[in-house]
Structure 1
């Protein structure tokens, strides 16, 4: 039996619709397009159900034939989510209260999708962590309520089956896969105490000694926790909002590993800078991290947190494994979306564009989702290295021109004129052929050496020219006026800072208002630099 063809859900200002997958990508005939401005769309975990908030109702239909499952009168609903088996629909609307009702109304509802009845309502003021977290078989569900995790069994939300009390617990994630279910919990540090993540097996919550693993660390305002598919380990990305060293506008991140066997480790990253993405392989035996100041590095690690392959550097901030785990996609996405001439494309994995849709002028594209399928639905196919035929071309784009100061224009490019050094993947490095993988200690020392090297380079850049240079050396061009030379140096410094901001923006990092204003002065600074260098 041939595997099914997935569909695409498209949410835009001119309506919500479903499209069949490649090669036709026609509008799905069994789904009646909703011409309203939907607030949210979602598929069930197995892709059999599709739901959306139309602004006056919450609708759920079967994807196969478009037949209605439920239509609920919930005009204020902003978000919805299906339970793993598609038996419960969770809906959330912004919390509000009035003078007549100072306590407000319950704003989190759980609905039985088979009968359309409301199973339970809760108060849930914050949108963060609004939805209960279910085990895959729906035998366990959990909510965070005032320093406690409340556990429910078999979708009976009127009875709390178990509680896990941890002062100031802020994040939790249930493990995937079969029972016994496990839960990862995070408690932020306070008053000089470190933050910590613990792994428990439900319902063994007798105290810290019952934890499967425990990892304490400083420098953590928030975390993201990611279980692997086999529920044997968790990766924790810990972030602080402010980097006290001043090395980054965007705080600092560290990556931690916890195994249910009690093993913990800090993942040693070979380049300074933010962590953009962390993904587990479907095999649960390795994970990929995209990290470091642009151009970012991408490295695959094993369960001992040792690097097994380094992809070098490039303009990327995201990684995706194929469902079978035999293809890894590295990609770079910007953080700004134009309100005109926007659209989406469907690619073949070899880079060929299979379908392209441009959104009409005056309309806005908000979201595009692939229909999900259960694990094992699609068989692994042999990888082809020849692009699939298409009339729409490929993903290859013209290389962008790198900014070069006026003094270096019309001159041959040299290694010293590069803004940063590109690093190829490890299998394309001749000097590393046959070398053994770096150990954790070697990676840590390498990282320190790179930081010292960068600091020395900055010192050399800011230092005045040495008069003891040999006659053959090429000193920086000057105009003979120390005051003008100082102005030139200051302008170049500002342009370099703008270039760094542009790289950070391209990497998907949001910029502050003052940083955006600084970028707008680039043309003015370039003109000023040309005027100053006329006499050089």
Structure 2
């Protein structure tokens, strides 16, 4: 079941066929206007709406025809309600010059009839769109420190209100009933910020909140519900910080059952991306200074799997939740790692350079990456991939043109059930993308060409948690090294031919220090201890030289005194 791809750019709006019909032209009646500011799909992919600078058009995808034209030439933002019943249009706020009164700039339309159901004033673009529950029974919007609720599409009647002083953010869970509402209130004058969760419509009383989370240092909060609406993640961010360019961040878990906790991250640095699994049982966080870590957490905020570190700043689940793609876009080279979520195995790794947008197809198998303006104005175009790493299509827009957006047509999840994961790359006529470059340590010009280079690393890369058992720095390998060192000491002792002084020095250099035997003369014991320290330091230098480290001149001179020190030590022991 192929799904089309819709593109918006300076040449208008057009559609192309997705796999397996990539080479066949799509019969979408192309919109040729160069003023298409915005386009949006309904959640099920049945409707497409766009603004061409003259009006807003509502397009029936299955019938392949325009159903309605709405006279809103200044439309800047649009969204469909979850079931596609309503279309919400936002325009820039303006004031009537004659009366100096604000003009309504938020409109709610009935898609079937094209009738305007309600016009409202929404000055700020932040939280401009009213939030609907998945069944469209509840609609919520923020108005002057209050959350107003409408029911069953009756937008002329405010059914109930939730008053939160200075509320600046809110979120309505999609699944329900029961419906969950979260509100964020910033702190001030020593008071903490807080997020409270209520069960609609139980808003009265001091104990009405079913969950609560307080915290300091938060200029803004991002609230992310999981699909089942059983829990949400709160990403708190400050605008400035003494310790980080990105400001201070904190990640909090808040359950609809009242449980709350701080998500402990395994590396310092910014949080780049948070993604709930579509199965609502886990979430992935990409975080930390580069190379960034990626970790999957369960509903108890416990780490389930650590993907190690790498050049990444995004993590996207496919709609079925069976594959996770870790990506490095923006100022990174476009690295993409596809992981089998259940088996915790790497499927493949490839690269899509200059990518500015990424989207999974509803089938959970294909991916659309695009290079779009204004982020990048050169090389605009798109690529179609299979999760096994095969690039199926690559197209660039015409010379002098720009691509602004590229979207898969959405589809209900029921059309595409989860399939077994394949590790074999699908066939493709397109050339393979360039191999992912390996990280190399920078070598100064004065050291190039030399064999004994200092052991330095600019970045420490960590393997995934299921590969750390093979890491030589782990305890298993340490025990093995200790056993090998013990064998070497025994062999050196046997090879010394009874020379106890040499044997004692070798043992001291390779094993933990032990109390030296006393001769009965404190002065003589002190001289022996000093000689042993010097010989032990020489043994360490010899091991470093053997490992390839380039020693300094004074260290080489110190090594030449070994014979004299051994002779002096032997004389002290004999006397």
Runs of 5+ consecutive residues of structure 1 not aligned to the other structure = 437-467, 478-536
Note the C-alpha offset of 1:412. 5.6
Of residues 455, 462, 474, the one that matches 1:423 is 462
Q: Once the 2 structures are TM-superposed, how far is the Cα of residue 475 of structure 1 from its aligned partner?
A: 7.5
- Residues 9 and 402 in structure 2, CA contact (< 8 A), matched pair in contact too: yes
Q: 1:176 offset after TM fit, Å?
A: 1.7
Query: Is the Cα contact below 8 Å between 1:30 and 1:65 reproduced in 2?
Result: no
TM-fit CA distance, 1:31: 1.6
CA distance in 2, matches of 1:42, 1:261: 34
Aligned to 1:329: 325
Partner of 2:415: 377
* Coordinate RMSD, CA, aligned: 2.4
Give the aligned partner of residue 181 of structure 2: 183
Q: Is the CA contact (8 Å cut-off) linking 1:180 and 1:202 kept in structure 2?
A: yes
Relative distance call for 1:87 and 1:401 in structure 2 (3 A) is: same
Counterparts of 1:142 and 1:407, CA distance in 2: 66
2:103 is matched with 105
What SS is found at the alignment partner of 2:414?
A: coil
Mapping of residues 15-164 of structure 1, within 5 Å = 15-26=12-23, 29-37=26-34, 38-164=36-162
Task: Note the C-alpha offset of 1:400.
Answer: 6.6
Return the alpha-carbon distance in structure 1 between the equivalents of residues 57 and 228 of structure 2: 34
- Displacement, 1:432? 7.6
User: Deviations for 1:228-284, whole angstroms, at most 9, x for unmatched residues?
Assistant: 11111001111111122x2x2111211100111111000000000000111111111
2:361 is matched with none
The corresponding residue for 1:519 is: none
> Aligned equivalents of 1:348 and 1:203: distance in 2?
45
Separation in 2, partners of 1:380, 1:415 = 50
Aligned partners of 2:49, 2:88: CA distance in 1, in Å?
A: 11
1:455-470 equivalent positions in 2, closer than 5 A: none
User: Could you say which structure has the larger radius of gyration?
Assistant: 2
Shift of 1:81: 0.5
| Greater Cα offset, 324-333 or 97-106 | 97-106
Shift of 1:302: 0.6
CA contact (8 A) 1:340 1:363 kept: no
Find the partner of 2:382 among 336, 344, 351.
Answer: 344
Choose 91-100 or 190-199, whichever is displaced more.
91-100
Deviations 1:102-135 (A, max 9, x none): 2231111111111111111111111111010000
CA deviations over 1:474-526 (Å, ceiling 9, x no partner) = 5899xxxxxxxxxxxxxxxxxxxxxxxxxxxxxxxxxxxxxxxxxxxxxxxxx
Say which SS state the counterpart of residue 427 (structure 2) adopts: coil
So what's the TM-score if we normalise by structure 1? 0.78
Give the unaligned 5+ runs of structure 2: 332-355, 357-374, 476-537, 554-575
**Distance in 2, Cα, partners of 1:276 & 1:383:** 27
Q: Residue 210 of structure 1 aligns to a residue in which SS? A: coil
Q: 1:49 to 1:408 in 2, by over 3 A?
A: farther
Task: Mark the CA change 1:414 to 1:173 in structure 2 (over 3 Å): closer, same or farther.
Answer: farther
Show the 5 A alignment for 1:373-522: 373-399=411-437, 402=440, 403-411=442-450, 416-430=455-469
Q: Which residue is 2:170 aligned to?
A: 172
Q: Offset of 1:406 from its aligned partner?
A: 2.9
Deviations 1:321-370 (A, max 9, x none): 12221111111111674312221101000111011111222111111111
Residue deviations 1:212-233 (CA, integer Å, cap 9, x gap): 1100011111111111111110
* CA deviation after TM superposition for structure 1 residue 29, in Å: 3.3
Tell me: CA distance 1:417–1:370, structure 2 relative to 1, closer, same or farther (3 Å): same
1:231 to 229, 232, 237: 229
Higher relative contact order (CA 8 A, sep 6+): 1
Give secondary structure in 2 for the equivalent of 1:31.
coil
What is the CA-CA distance between 1:178 and the residue it aligns to? Answer: 2.9
Equivalent residues of 1:22, 1:355 under 8 A apart: no
Alignment-derived partner of residue 511 in structure 2 = none
- Shift in Å at residue 51 of structure 1? 0.8
Equivalent-residue separation in structure 2 for 1:27 and 1:13 (angstroms): 23
Shift of 1:204: 0.5
Could you say which residue in structure 2 is the equivalent of 1:313? 309
Q: Deviations over 1:76-104 (max 9, x none)?
A: 11111101111110001111225324223
Distance 1:279 1:300 in 2: 9
